[in-house]
Amino acid sequence: MNDNSTNSDLLVQYLDGELNKEQHDALQKKIQEDSALAQKLDSLRLAKDSLKSYGLKTRIHNIHAEMMQEDNNKPLVKKPGVLAKMLPYTLRIAASVLVVIGISFLYQYYSASPEKLFEENFQAFDVHESRGSVSTTLTNAYKAGDMKLVIQQYPALKNPTAEENFLGANAFLNNHQAAKAIDIFLALQQQNKNNSTHYFEEDTEYYLALAYLLNSQPQTALPILEKINHDKNHAYHKKINSWFLTRAKRFQAK
């Protein structure tokens, strides 16, 4: 098997959440360093989504064809009115579509894992100049997308600012070092509490919850996710919808 085929197999397993942590981290590093590989991942993700959509449409088309065949094989009887004829047929189509959609939802529900929920929602935080950020070596590295450099620089900071803490935690989370990210996010929350400040408060809640999911701590993440879901004014309310929360609750008693 050539390298191209091997990479394709690994990318598919990456999208399906089937890689172990060592394989995941190694591939994540390659994706960050290889733009062609990153582009291939995007293409595979698009193809996967398209296939899901195509599969649903094909299933509906097959149901329609089966019903047409069934109707063609029926003996001729006195034709009912147009409305009376269409209504049962329409109801059967609607019921079949609902069954297919229901199966899809059940699959998503039972195949979900904390790590998959993380992958679905995580996107590295985008620094906006309007937030009043102060340029430092670490913040500049983060803005340039050099997460590796951020991770190297963060431990050397003696008194990191709230922004440096937040971006440092995001860099570790982006590198799937969830435990380290959790420690820094918690330190930032304590820093805000001590200083009666609210720097990156809602951002920290959201990314801390994702870090707990990645760290296989869904029970700890759930109260934060519920808080965000219930607060319509929260900056990340739309990201934690009811379906996401329902799947997260699967792990509550585990």
- Any long-range contacts for 20-25 (C-beta under 8 Å, 24+ apart)? 21/176, 24/176, 25/175, 25/176
Report the C-alpha gap between 36 and 77 in whole angstroms: 63
Q: What is the CATH number of the domain that holds 133?
A: 1.25.40.10
Instruction: Give the integer Cα–Cα distance in Å for 171 and 152.
Output: 10
Residues 88 and 108 in one domain: yes
Neighbours of 204 (CB within 10 A): 25
Listed residues 69, 94, 113: the one ending a domain: 113
Q: Cα separations (Å) of 43 from 15, 46, 50?
A: 11, 5, 10
Do 195 and 148 share a structural domain?
yes
41 belongs to a structural domain: no
What is the 8-class DSSP label of residue 107?
Answer: H
166 & 88 share domain: no
Residue 40 domain-assigned?
no
Residue type, 138: L
Q: Can you give the pTM of this predicted structure?
A: 0.59
Per-residue three-class SS string for 73-94? HCCCCCCCCHHHHHHHHHHHHH
The verdict on residue 80 lying in a domain is yes
Flag whether 42 is in a domain. Answer: no
Q: Domain for residue 152, yes or no?
A: yes
What is the domain range of residue 86? 47-113
Residue with tokens 């197999």: 9
Does 243 share its domain with 148?
Answer: yes
Q: Is 151 domain-assigned?
A: yes
**Tens digits of pLDDT across the chain (254 residues):** 445 556 667 777 777 777 888 888 888 888 888 777 777 776 667 666 555 555 555 555 555 555 555 555 555 455 555 545 554 555 555 555 555 455 544 444 444 588 888 888 899 998 875 445 567 899 999 999 999 999 999 999 999 999 999 999 999 999 999 999 999 999 999 999 999 999 999 999 999 999 999 999 999 999 999 999 999 999 999 999 887 888 888 776 54
- Total domain count, the chain: 3
